[in-house]
Amino acid sequence: MTVISKVLCGCLCATLAIVSHADVYREGRPIIVIKNGQLQGVEKHDMVAFKNIPYAAPPIGTLRWRPPQPVLAWDNVRDASQFGEACPQIDTPGLNSELVPGSEDCLKLNVFAPKSGKNLPVMVWFHGGGLVEGSAKEPYYEPIGLVNQGVIVVTVDYRIGKLGFFAPRALAEEAIEKGEPVGNYGTMDQIQSLKWVQENIAEFGGDPSNVTIFGQSAGGRSVTWLMVSPAAAGLFHKAIAQSAQQLPMRNQRSEKFGMMSQESLDAKFMQTLGVENLATLRAMPADKLLISAQEFQAGEFGGAFVDGQIIVGDPIPLFAEGKQHKVPFMIGSNSWDASYFMLSQPPLDAYLDKMGENAQSIHQMYANFKDQCALVAEIMADGWYRGGVKLLADSANKYAPAYAYNYAYLTPTIRSSMIGAAHTFELPYVFGTLDKVPHAPLEIQQVDNKCQRINQALADMKQKGVWSSYWFPSADPKSQEDQSISGQLTRSWATFAKTGNPNHGNETLWPRYEIARDVMREFKGRQPAVVRNLYKNRVEYQIAAMKRVYGIDQSSR
pLDDT tens-digit profile of 487-512? 999 999 999 999 999 999 888 999 99
Alpha-carbon distance of 358 to 339, in angstroms, equals: 24
Banded pLDDT at 446 (limits 50, 70, 90): confident
- Domain 328-557 listed as CATH 3.40.50.10790: no
Alpha-carbon distance of 58 to 104, in angstroms, equals: 7
Alpha-carbon distance of 64 to 153, in angstroms, equals: 28
Ramachandran bin of 170, using left for φ above 0, alpha for ψ from -120 to 50, beta for the remaining angles: alpha
Decide if pLDDT at 12 tops 90.
Answer: no
Alpha-carbon distance of 203 to 5, in angstroms, equals: 7
Alpha-carbon distance of 136 to 156, in angstroms, equals: 6
Residues constituting the chain:
557
Quote the pLDDT of residue 52. Answer: 98
Decide if pLDDT at 21 tops 70.
Answer: no
Domains 43-326 and 328-557 share a fold: yes
Q: Global pTM? A: 0.94
CATH of domain 43-326: 3.40.50.1820
Quote the pLDDT of residue 293. Answer: 67
Decide: helix, strand or coil at residue 547. Answer: helix
Alpha-carbon distance of 396 to 320, in angstroms, equals: 8
Domain ranges of the chain: 43-326, 328-557
State which amino acid sits at residue 538.
Answer: R
Segment 11-27 mean pLDDT: 36
Spatial contact of 232 and 311, defined as CB atoms under 8 Å apart? no
Secondary structure string (H, E, C) spanning 101-130? CCCCCCCEEEEEECCCCCCEEEEEEECCCC
One DSSP character per residue, 281-320 reads: HHHS-GGGG---HHHHHTT----SEE-SSSS-S-HHHHHH
Model pLDDT for residues 403-433, shown as the tens digit of each residue? 999 999 999 999 999 999 999 999 999 999 9
Alpha-carbon distance of 93 to 97, in angstroms, equals: 6
Model pLDDT for residues 180-197, shown as the tens digit of each residue? 999 999 999 999 999 999
Quote the pLDDT of residue 506. Answer: 87
Model pLDDT for residues 223-237, shown as the tens digit of each residue? 999 999 999 999 999
